[in-house]
Amino acid sequence: MFPNRKFPLFRFSTSYRFFSNSSCRTQRTLKKSIYFSGISLHNGKQVNLSIHPSTHVNNSTGILFQTPNGMIPASYENVSSTNFCTTLCGFKTSNEAGSLSNIYFVHTVEHLLAAFYICNIQNAIVEIDGEELPILDGSSQPYCDAFEGNVAPIQNNKALKTLKILKPIKVQSGDSHATFFPNNVENENDNTNNNISSRGGSSGTLSISVDVDFEPFSLPRDQIEVNDLEFLKEISSARTFTFEHVISKLKEDGLIKGGSMENAIVYDKNGIPLNKEPLRFENEFSRHKILDCIGDLSLLGNDRKSIDKIDGRYVVYKPGHTINNKMVNKLMKILEEEEQELIENRSVVIV
Ligand SMILES: [Zn+2]
C-alpha cells in the first residue's frame, strides 16, 4: 500500500463550500442538541455525550465541558497532559484558602474540538458522563456530519476574534519543531530542513503544513499542507492510527483499552494497514496529524480573551499534541506581553 518513497508535497488551494471564514463573521452555536455514545479510546469505557447549544443571552460561553465532577472550559490554560491525547482538567477548592481538592479530567478532546473549529462553532455545552470522550470512528467526521445544517449565530451576534500572526514564532520539543508564519509574506528560511518550500498563505486563513516522519515504523515520510477552507473535505474524516507492534506495550501502560479496528487504523511493521475498511486517503495518517493540530490550536484563548480563528501558517515537523500545546502557550505569552508593554512592532495581534 505504501511504496517506500516520500509522497510529493500535497497542497489544496480551492475553496470549499459554505464553511468559509468569509461567510461566518459572528460567533455560532448549535441549533439543537445532538447525542453520541460509544467507547472511549484510552480508558475503554462506554460513555454518553450530549452537545447542547449555548443559550447564554448576554455573553458567549465558549466551549464548555460539563463532566460529572464539574465544568471545564476548553482553553490551553486547562491542558493537564498531552501524552497520547489532549487532556483538560478542572478543580474544586475545598476551603477559603483555596487549597485544591477534587481535580477532574476530560481526556481526548482534540477530535471534537477540531470539528468545532472546522465547522465554525465557538459556543457549546459538551456534557459527558465519563472522563473521556468517545472515540467514535477515530476521526471528526461523525461530529461534522451532525453539525451540518445544525448551526446558528449566537443571540448577541458577537463578532469573531482572530489571532493574526505578524512575525514567525518558533518552538521546539524533543526532535519536533514548529514555526507559525504570517500569511502573505515570503516565509524566511525556518531552518527545519523538512523540504517544505516557503510561501505565504492566504490572508485571513489558517494553513497547516505537516512533515510526518515515522521512518522507524516503515511509513513513508509525508508532507502535506491544507488550508482551513479545505479542512472539512480533506481532513475531518482522517482516522487516528497506531502500529501493531506497539499495541501490547500501550495496553500495558493502561492506554488504548478501547482501541479496535473500527476506531483506528492499525499498520503492521511494513506500513500495511490491517483494517478491513480501506484507507480513506493514501496518506490518512498525515491528514489525521493535521486534524490533531486543529483541535490543539483551537485551545488558544481563555475566559478573559476569546480567540475564535487564526490567521497564519503553522509549519510543523513531527507534529504532536506536546509541540502544538507548546506553540499555543508561546503565542498566548507573546500576545499578553505585547499587550501589557504596548509594543508597536507586534508579533501577534487580535483583530
Ligand atoms: Zn487524533
Q: Cβ distance 263 to 137 under 8 Å?
A: yes
Strands 28-30 and 222-227: unpaired
Among 126, 160, 194, residue at a domain's last position: 160
* Residue 265, domain member (yes or no): no
Asked if residue 252 is part of any domain, the answer here is no
Determine the distance separating the centroid of ligand 1 and the alpha carbon of 310, expressed in angstroms: 20
233 & 105 share domain: no
Same domain, 52 and 179: no
Residues 180 and 287 both lie in one domain: yes
Say if 13 falls within a structural domain: no
Residue 161, class by beta-carbon neighbours within 10 Å (0-12 exposed, 13-18 middle, 19+ buried)?
Answer: middle
End position of a domain, from candidates 110, 135, 160: 160
Q: Which of 107, 177, 288, 321 does the annotation list as catalytic?
A: 321
Q: How far is the CA of 338 from the centre of ligand 1 (A)?
A: 33
CA of 193 to the centre of ligand 1 (A): 25
> Based on the domain organization, do 151 and 171 belong to the same domain?
no
Helix (H, G, I), strand (E, B) or coil at 290: helix
Q: pLDDT tens digit string along 101-159? A: 689 999 999 999 999 999 999 999 999 999 999 999 999 999 999 999 999 988 877 89
Q: Do residues 41 and 148 both lie within one domain?
A: yes
The answer on 214 and 173 residing in a single domain is yes
- Whether 14 maps to a domain, the answer reads no
Say yes or no: 174 and 306 in one domain. yes
- For residues 124 and 207, state if they share a domain: no
Q: Is there a catalytic annotation at residue 321?
A: yes
121 lies in a domain? yes
pLDDT digits (tens, 9 = 90+) for 76-109: 999 999 999 999 999 877 666 666 668 999 999 9
Q: 31: which DSSP letter? A: S
Ordered mean pLDDT values, 10 residues apiece, the chain (351 residues): 40 41 74 96 94 77 94 97 95 69 92 98 96 97 97 86 97 97 67 44 90 84 95 97 91 89 92 94 97 98 93 97 98 95 90 94
Residue 112 resides in a domain = yes
Which of 102, 126, 160 is a domain's end point? Answer: 160
User: How many domains does one find in the chain?
Assistant: 2
Cα of 294 from ligand 1 centre, angstroms: 10
Are both 53 and 184 inside the same structural domain? no
Whether residue 79 is found in the same domain as residue 186:
no
- Which residues, 6 or more positions from 327, have their beta carbon under 8 angstroms from its beta carbon? 169, 171, 178, 180, 297, 314, 316
pTM, full prediction: 0.89
Q: Does the residue 208 lie in any domain?
A: yes
pLDDT value at residue 224 = 96
Question: 27 lies in a domain?
Answer: yes
**What size, in residues, is the chain?**
351
Any idea what the CATH number is for the domain that residue 104 is in? Answer: 3.30.230.20
Same-domain pairing of 169 and 303: yes
| Grid-cell match 508597536, residue found | 344
- In this structure, the answer to whether residues 156 and 166 fall within a common structural domain is no
Task: Tell me the three cell numbers of residue 4.
Answer: 517506500
Domain containing 185: what range? 161-239+280-351
